[in-house]
C-alpha cells in the first residue's frame, strides 16, 4: 500500500471513531501532512473502506436496534436485505446473509461468541432448510466437506469482524 495509507490504517485498525486532528497527530511522525491525510481519507471513503462517524445517543441506538431486529427476522425467513442500520455511520452498512444469520444467532443467544458454536449453528440451520452453498461456482450441501469449509471460512471472517460490528452498534 503506500507510505501514506499504512500509518493511517494502523491508527484506524482499532475500529473506533477518530477525529481527523487525532489521526494527523498520530501520523505526523511518519511524514503525513494535512493535505495527504485528507486525500487518503477521501479515497478510503470513496472505496467504502471508511465512513464518517457521528456521536449517537441511546435513543438513536434503540431505533437502529429495532430496525435491525426486523431486518434479521426477514433474513432468517429468507427475505432479508444485505444492509443493517448503524447509528454510528447514520447509514446502512453492508452485511451479507451469513453474517446476518450469525448476528441473529448471537442476539437470540442461539450460539455463543465462539467460532465452533457459530459454525455448528449455521450447519444445523442450513441442513434443516436444505440450503445449498455456492463454493467457487459449485453447489454443495452444508454438511459436505466443501460446505463445512465454506461455513468455517465465513464464520472465521465474521468472528474477526466482531469488534467492528460492535463499534458500529450492529450487535
133 and 91 in one domain? Answer: yes
Rounded Cα distance between 153 and 150, Å, is 5
Grid cell of 6 as nine digits? 499504512
Rounded Cα distance between 40 and 87, Å, is 24
Helix (H, G, I), strand (E, B) or coil at 101: helix
Neighbouring CB atoms inside 10 A of 114's CB total: 11
87: in domain: yes
64 and 39 in one domain? Answer: no
18 and 82 in one domain? Answer: no
Nearest to 155 by CA among 73, 84, 125: 125
What average pLDDT is seen over the chain?
87
Domain that holds residue 123: 58-167
52: in domain: no
Number of domains within the chain: 2
Rounded Cα distance between 3 and 104, Å, is 40
Rounded Cα distance between 139 and 34, Å, is 50
51: in domain: no
- In tens, the pLDDT along 67-85 reads 999 999 888 777 878 999 9
**Predicted pLDDT of residue 133:** 74
Question: Do residues 56 and 169 lie in contact, with contact meaning Cβ atoms separated by under 8 Å?
Answer: yes
53: in domain: no
161 and 100 in one domain? Answer: yes
Greater model confidence, 27 or 106: 27
34 and 67 in one domain? Answer: no
pLDDT tops 90 at residue 2 = no
Residue 94 CA, chain-centre distance (Å), reads 7
**Predicted pLDDT of residue 135:** 76
149 and 117 in one domain? Answer: yes
- In tens, the pLDDT along 107-164 reads 877 666 677 888 888 888 877 777 777 777 777 777 778 878 888 888 999 998 888 9
**Banded pLDDT at 9 (limits 50, 70, 90):** very high
pLDDT tops 90 at residue 23 = yes
32 and 102 in one domain? Answer: no
Residue 106 CA, chain-centre distance (Å), reads 14
80: in domain: yes
100 and 159 in one domain? Answer: yes
Greater model confidence, 90 or 118: 90
Q: What angle do CA 96, 147, 130 make, to 5 degrees?
A: 80
138 and 77 in one domain? Answer: yes
pLDDT over 90 percentage in the chain? 46
120 and 66 in one domain? Answer: yes
Grid cell of 99 as nine digits? 453474517
Rounded Cα distance between 63 and 117, Å, is 29
99 and 31 in one domain? Answer: no
pLDDT tops 60 at residue 1 = no
111 and 28 in one domain? Answer: no
Amino acid at each position: 500500500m503506500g507510505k501514506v495509507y499504512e500509518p493511517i490504517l494502523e491508527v484506524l485498525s482499532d475500529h473506533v471513531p477518530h477525529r481527523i486532528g487525532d489521526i494527523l497527530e498520530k501520523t505526523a511522525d511518519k511524514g503525513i501532512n494535512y493535505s495527504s491525510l485528507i486525500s487518503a481519507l477521501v479515497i478510503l471513503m470513496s472505496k467504502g473502506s471508511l465512513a464518517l462517524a457521528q456521536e449517537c445517543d441511546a435513543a438513536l441506538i434503540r431505533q437502529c436496534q429495532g430496525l435491525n431486529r426486523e431486518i434479521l427476522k426477514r433474513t432468517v425467513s429468507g427475505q432479508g436485505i444485505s444492509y443493517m442500520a448503524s447509528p454510528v455511520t447514520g447509514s446502512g452498512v453492508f452485511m451479507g446473509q451469513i453474517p446476518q444469520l450469525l448476528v441473529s444467532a448471537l442476539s437470540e443467544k442461539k450460539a455463543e461468541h465462539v467460532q465452533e458454536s457459530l459454525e455448528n449453528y449455521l450447519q444445523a440451520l442450513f441442513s434443516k432448510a436444505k440450503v445449498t452453498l455456492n463454493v467457487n461456482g459449485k453447489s454443495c450441501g452444508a454438511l459436505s466437506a466443501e460446505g463445512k469449509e465454506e461455513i468455517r471460512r465465513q464464520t472465521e471472517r465474521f468472528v474477526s469482524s466482531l469488534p467492528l460490528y460492535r463499534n458500529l452498534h450492529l450487535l
